[in-house]
Amino acid sequence: MTSFTTFYLSRVIGKKVMDSNGKTIGTLKDILIESNHDSGNTLVIGVKLKLSNSKESKLFSFDTFVINKTKDKISVKCNNPHELSEEVSQTGLFLVDVILDKQIVDLNGRKLVRVNDIRLVSLTNGTYVLAVDIGMEGLLRRIGIALPIKRMFNLVKLQIPAKLILWEDVEAIDFSNLNIKLSKTYSKLQTLHPSDLADIIEDLGKKSMTEVFSALD
């Protein structure tokens, strides 16, 4: 049976990262994923840490990081971290910088939505982006009150409706803060009907509108 751990981005951002001796290495600031974001299995490849003994942040390979969840408590550990090159950081996507709190396209709903949180899964062969949370629960989780609110709702037999979109069904929009243009940017938008695409572009800001339109075939 395959073991796995699911967790939300908001639960690990700001977490202290410990080594095998329990010493703090740094604070987790962002997670880097493959730039091939049109794949349904997008791999986590890096972690940006603000180092404990320095004011600067550095990017490390995710290979030596382990994220554990025990009784809903998240811990992040790392042994022998090794840095990733600047070239790698420029060809991947940082989840906090590029996806979280940004507008994306829900390809099935054919509309723009805002990302409140991101769900990931750790398997034996790696950690992957699973889905984006566009619902109220994601917002409540971000400010740390999702659990007490859910318990209160349970008392009156109500639920906060989950609103998750599978990663393979979304398209990121805002790449304005990246240094280079990704080779497969907006590839999923090409699959939409022109009338749906026109409606989506019309709802974008002027800068994003121009960028998306000029990138399309």
Q: Output the DSSP codes for 92-161.
A: SEEIIIIITTSEEEETTTTEEEE--EEEEEEETTEEEEEEEE-SHHHHHHHTT-HHHHHHHHHHTT--PP
Please state whether beta strands 73-78 and 16-18 pair in parallel, antiparallel, or not at all (unpaired).
Answer: parallel
Give the per-residue pLDDT at 177: 54
Q: What's the domain count of the chain? A: 1
Please tell me the pTM assigned to this model: 0.84
> Alpha-carbon dihedral of residues 147, 5, 11, 175, nearest 10 degrees?
-130
| Alpha-carbon torsion (203, 205, 209, 211), positive or negative | negative
Give the per-residue pLDDT at 51: 92
Give the per-residue pLDDT at 39: 52
Give the per-residue pLDDT at 181: 46
Q: Phi, psi (5° rounding) for residue 200?
A: -65, -45
Give a yes or no: residue 144 inside a domain: yes
Sequence-ordered list of residues with C-beta below 8 angstroms from that of 2, at least 6 positions apart, any chain: 123, 124
Give a yes or no: residue 4 inside a domain: no
pLDDT < 70 positions in the chain = 1-2, 36-40, 175-185
Tell me which DSSP letter residue 215 carries: H
Give a yes or no: residue 32 inside a domain: yes
Domain assignment of residue 34, given as a range: 10-215
Give a yes or no: residue 49 inside a domain: yes
Give a yes or no: residue 1 inside a domain: no
Exposure string of 4-13, with b = 16+ CB inside 10 Å and e = fewer, is eeebbbbbbb
Give the per-residue pLDDT at 142: 83
Give the per-residue pLDDT at 1: 44
